Each structure stands twice: as structure tokens, then as C-alpha cells.
């Protein structure tokens, strides 16, 4: 049913119901684990870098290592 302005906007109850059913609300733990792993990997790679550009490469590696890890795991499991 249209509201006073003539548009068919959702009422407050529908907005709250849609907000509670939104997807992606349980990603906080996974994001936190990934963030801590990224920081740990970045520190590791930067500590072992002997030049500035190897440090930059280490930062890139620390962003991409989870993809390589999953690939190797699936390869090991022959999935």
C-alpha cells in the first residue's frame, strides 16, 4: 500500500526484518583470522627480505598465500 508521498516504500518492520536476514553477517570471525594471518605472513616475509623490492614482494605474497594454501590442500586431497 502506498505511503503518504505516493511511493511504495517498506515500513519499519520490513526494514528491520530484511536487515536481520542480510547475508554475510557471520564473516567477522573468518575476516579476523585472515587479517591476523596476513599480518603474521607480512611480518615473516618482510623480516626475511634483504632489499626493499623483496619486502614489497613479501607483502604481495602475504596477500596471496591463502589461495596457494587452499590449492595445495585440494591437490593433496585430490579433490
pLDDT 10s digits, 9-65: 556 666 566 655 555 566 677 778 788 888 999 999 999 999 999 999 999 999 988
Give Cα 7 distance to the centre of its chain: 37
Task: Give the angle subtended at the CA of 71 by the CAs of 69 and 76, to the nearest 5°.
Answer: 95
Does pTM top 0.75 for this prediction? no
Length, in residues, of the chain: 79
**Alpha-carbon Rg for the chain in angstroms:** 23
Amino acid at each position: 500500500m502506498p505511503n503518504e508521498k505516493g511511493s511504495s516504500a517498506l515500513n519499519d518492520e520490513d526494514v528491520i526484518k530484511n536487515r536481520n536476514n542480510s547475508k554475510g553477517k557471520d564473516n567477522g570471525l573468518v575476516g579476523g583470522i585472515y587479517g591476523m594471518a596476513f599480518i603474521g605472513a607480512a611480518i615473516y616475509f618482510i623480516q626475511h627480505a634483504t632489499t626493499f623490492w623483496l619486502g614489497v614482494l613479501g607483502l604481495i605474497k602475504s596477500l596471496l598465500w591463502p589461495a596457494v594454501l587452499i590449492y595445495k590442500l585440494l591437490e593433496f586431497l585430490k579433490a
